[in-house]
Amino acid sequence: MNHTIADVAVPTARSKITLQYKRVVSEASFRKILYLAGLSLLILLVAIFFSLVVASLPALRQFGFSFLVGKTWDPVRGEFGALAFLVGTLMSSFMALLIAMVFSLPISIFLGEYFRQGNVSTFMKSVIELLAGIPSVIYGFWGLFLLVPLVRALEVKLGVAPQGVGIFTSSLVLAVMIIPYASSIGTEVISLVPSDLKEAALSLGATRFEVIRKVILPYASSGIFAGILLALGRALGETMAVTMVIGNSNFLPKSIFSPGNTMASVIANEFTEATGSLYLASLIELALVLFIVTVIINVLGKLIIHKMSARK
């Protein structure tokens, strides 16, 4: 019954060794799981790119570069040129960007300089957050029932064909949608401007306006540019709201009021009805173009912002 020291010590030592062995193994496998999780996101991105390329191969082979400059999009005759959609996308996005800048830059200055704290700032920030949270289909619905009649009335006054829907209407909706995004980036970069620079200018007798114009805006200019770029990336790929108010015409738009289509909206409209592999592949190639453009814009924009926050 009496245990010697050796009797007790041997099994404990052995179990300790196995315990430690188990721990090392589990730690190694745990680290492996973490690595895999990180790696899988990279793989996901690469897989998305290659899937798009592979799925659009029939169109890539058939049309090559002429896909981007072809003017006719005729599914019945199997002719697919995306120029009308490229133009539609660029027109609506850039107009939206212009309209959005008129409002987002003041908001950025408002929140980044004049009202950095306090009730006014909190209220404004929550309203902007709210705006950013509204789903795009609801923006489209709202645009369809409020903006389309308004634009139609405007078109009657201007003497152009009163359709209501069209590129101009879609850029109005887009502008409302990207204002929150552009202004939150703008606020961030404007509040990054070091206060000693501002104080130096103020102590030399500059007014607030002069400080903003001569110190803050030049300092924040690259960040503001990045914000505009990232907002452009958003606008280019926005689908639902645009689809609902752009008029869905596959011809080259003649003016800012004509109906048109963007790359995203034509995919949304025609994808489920696409018959034939070439038709489907052409639509997927549009997605590929959209993917590449937004990747470039996002990487560029983020790089500029990182550089700017690192400068501090």
Per CB under 8 A, contacts with other proteins among 160-199 are: 176, 179, 183
Residue type, position 245, single letter: V
Q: How far is the CB of 7 from other proteins (least distance, A)?
A: 26
d(CA 139, CA 144): 9
Task: Provide φ and ψ at 80, rounded to 5°.
Answer: -130, 105
Contact region with other proteins (CB under 8 A), list: 90-98, 190-198, 239-247, 251-259: 239-247
Residue type, position 66, single letter: S
- The DSSP code for 69 is H
Return the structure tokens found at 165.
């829907």
Check binding of 121 to other proteins (CB under 8 A): no
Contact region with other proteins (CB under 8 A), list: 3-11, 105-113, 215-223, 251-259: 105-113
Q: Considering only residues 35-64, where is the footprint of other proteins by CB under 8 A?
A: 35, 37-42, 44-45, 48, 51-52, 55
47 CB burial (10 A radius; 0-12, 13-18, 19+): exposed
Token pair 């700032």 in the structure block, residue: 121
Q: Considering only residues 202-231, where is the footprint of other proteins by CB under 8 A?
A: 207-210, 212, 230
d(CA 64, CA 38): 35
Q: Considering only residues 260-299, where is the footprint of other proteins by CB under 8 A?
A: 264, 267-268, 271-272, 283-284, 287, 290-291, 294-295, 297-299
Contact region with other proteins (CB under 8 A), list: 75-83, 90-98, 142-150, 155-163: 142-150
Check binding of 33 to other proteins (CB under 8 A): yes
Residue type, position 158, single letter: L
